[in-house]
Structure 1
């Protein structure tokens, strides 16, 4: 196996310079850095992370606490976190929780701390109440508010509020008198954010809020919600908090004789890959999983490696509306928008 001395010899630099480059330290010119990287690639040299851990006192591993589910959102976010950590030269350890287990997060965090991780990512989407555990390594709360004490904490959102508002604004801009909402389960932080984004859009237009129908993220719960909405002839636009639920909503509306989008426009959330292939293809908003993970991991690693240096400001997450064939202007004259009344 090639050694750092071999890389130094090929690149024409010292071993210390090789170490600085491969550990991404400053005070190395761009030309020298590239020469070292080219030499390391040519020789197939890889860092010995075990030796590096002994020298630095860090394991270069980060633990992630996430809900044990195959749901599109949590699973996609976990993949993005793993990719961001790998790009940064860190390994990933995962501890899963189960919905409805208030002690699950504390147990998962404790397990990760016992493995000597340098930092922890909380990608737990459900509000299980306060968590009674104290953590002495930096923690990134990704898409959720802090739920326990940490020596250094970073919070990065995934933009659910802004995305939900954009979805609702799209329907209002098409000319619909109002927008109904099929919400996700309110124990989920993301479902609350999407509900508030929908409300914010309606309030900005001076509109009352129609009654909210709550589902559980499944297509079956969307189907039940769609049957309820199909009985109201005033419903011409629906923002659904998840693509799978939106598929169920569309099925129920079509069975009730409501055409999509001629009679009812439907917008989903996530841009699940299947959304482009249903009939009609679903207009939705795309979650910025990669961008949120990259931003969050960047800030977490900054906190791990430069604890005495102020964090740079967190970047806003992009808002991307994917317009397909499930939305259109209302095909008949709808009642005028009702102005909000004081309560």
Structure 2
């Protein structure tokens, strides 16, 4: 720091203010200090900064299944929002939804010095009396209906309702649903909303089919649906399964949307390029990331015991070419 100060012709305190991104440095001086830092290869000592401020500028993320598209996009959004707030992110991926696995993940992150932790789709919090370790601020994403901790939810129920109502409004008498795994918080919320929307509309509720989020599982379900002439509308739990369903219907000689309409969920970047382009529910993962980081920062400011409740991020329907009125409507 002394070398940087000498080269830039400023005090060590000014170098410290620039290193900590303080606003009370004029731009010309800031640029001179940054240029000296680059030339000398200076990097702030994060351990010293933590001792001085009590903060590590590091957020921990515990994710249960990074292979799922929604979880991966949520993590990407959190990392982006954290960087915007000048924080780094340390990620632990947990395969098993068990109390011991959750506590082990907390221990690993705590040893690596994080200021707060975000849990992505930790449905164990919704199905057990698990108590998270105290002492660190926590935010839960799509995984806790009981609201024991501050949380951010994409509005799964709203998205499923929009998808189901869209197909009913087109004139389909009912809507079949291929759900994600039964142990998925997001899949359960979507399936429950689909069921409730059909009941509220006075429509018959068909048997529920299950997949595992993959196109292959959608294809298997699609073969079963294609063999049933009563099926004219399908709501898939995600876009990958919708892709498999469309493929199975095509192979069975049932055209989409002429014979069967299909709606997905997630709005993959590729969904607009399916043949036909896929009607789907869009989730705003960028907003989820911003809200997660904002909730943690709020807890840093006011104390994590004082921040409760959940923030809901809206979903919206993107109508494309895979849905149409049924034949004869």
Aligned residue among 69, 77, 80 for 1:80: 77
1:133·1:148 contact (CA, 8 Å) conserved in 2?
Answer: no
- Maintained 8 Å contact 2:153/2:310: no
Bigger shift: 254-263 or 272-281? Answer: 272-281
Q: For residues 223-251 of structure 1, give each alpha carbon's deviation from its aligned partner in whole angstroms, at most 9, with x where no partner exists.
A: 11111111222211111001111111111
Report the equivalent of 1:252: 248
Deviation, structure 1 residue 70: 2.7
Match of 1:205 among 198, 201, 205: 201
What SS does the corresponding residue of 1:221 show, helix, strand or coil? helix
Q: Higher relative contact order at CA 8 Å, sep ≥6: structure 1 or structure 2?
A: 2
- Taking structure 2 as the reference length, what is the TM-score of the superposition? 0.84
Choose which of 326, 331, 337 in structure 1 pairs with 2:327.
331
How many Å apart are 1:35 and its aligned residue?
6.2
Equivalent in the alignment of 2:143? 144
**Greater helix proportion:** 2
Residue 59 of structure 1 aligns to a residue whose secondary structure is coil
2:56 to 50, 59, 70: 59
State how 1:169-248 maps to structure 2 within 5 Å. Answer: 169-248=165-244
Q: Do the aligned residues in 1 keep the contact of 2:276 with 2:322 (CA within 8 Å)?
A: yes
Distance 2:107 2:239 in 1: 34
Where do residues 3-152 of structure 1 align in structure 2 (5 Å cutoff)? Answer: 18=17, 22=21, 33=23, 36=26, 39-41=29-31, 43-44=33-34, 49-99=46-96, 103-127=100-124, 129-130=127-128, 131=130, 133-145=132-144
Aligned-pair CA distance for 1:57: 1.4
Q: Retained in 1: the 8 A contact 2:222–2:245? A: yes
Structure 2 CA distance, aligned partners of 1:34 and 1:260? 61
SS at match of 1:268: strand
> 1:8 and 1:120 mapped to 2: Cα distance?
40
Are 1:286 and 2:282 counterparts? yes
Matches of 1:244 and 1:192, distance apart in 2:
17
User: Is there any run of 5+ residues in structure 2 with no aligned partner, and where?
Assistant: 38-42
Q: Distance in 2 between matches of 1:273 and 1:244?
A: 11
Shift of 1:146: 7.4
Structure 1 residue runs of 5 or longer lacking an equivalent are 24-32, 334-343
The CA RMSD measured in Å over matched residues stands at 3.2
Structure 1 pair 51/325, CA: closer, same or farther in 2 (3 Å)?
same
Shift in CA distance, 308/75, structure 1 to aligned 2, threshold 3 Å? closer
1:37 Cα deviation after fit: 5.8
CA contact (8 A) 1:8 1:36 kept: no
Separation (CA, whole Å) in 2 of partners of 1:81 and 1:308? 19
SS of the aligned residue for 1:134 comes to coil
What secondary structure does 1:103 align onto? Answer: helix
Give the match for residue 40 of structure 2. none
Question: Does structure 1 retain, via aligned residues, the 8 Å contact 2:4–2:15?
Answer: no
Give CA-to-partner distance per residue, 1:117-146, whole Å, 9 cap, x none: 111111145548534652311110111117
Instruction: Give the CA deviation at 1:158.
Output: 1.6
How big is the shift at 1:199? Answer: 2.1
Say if 1:237 and 1:264, in contact at 8 Å, map to a contact too. yes
- Cα separation, 2, equivalents of 1:177 and 1:101: 41
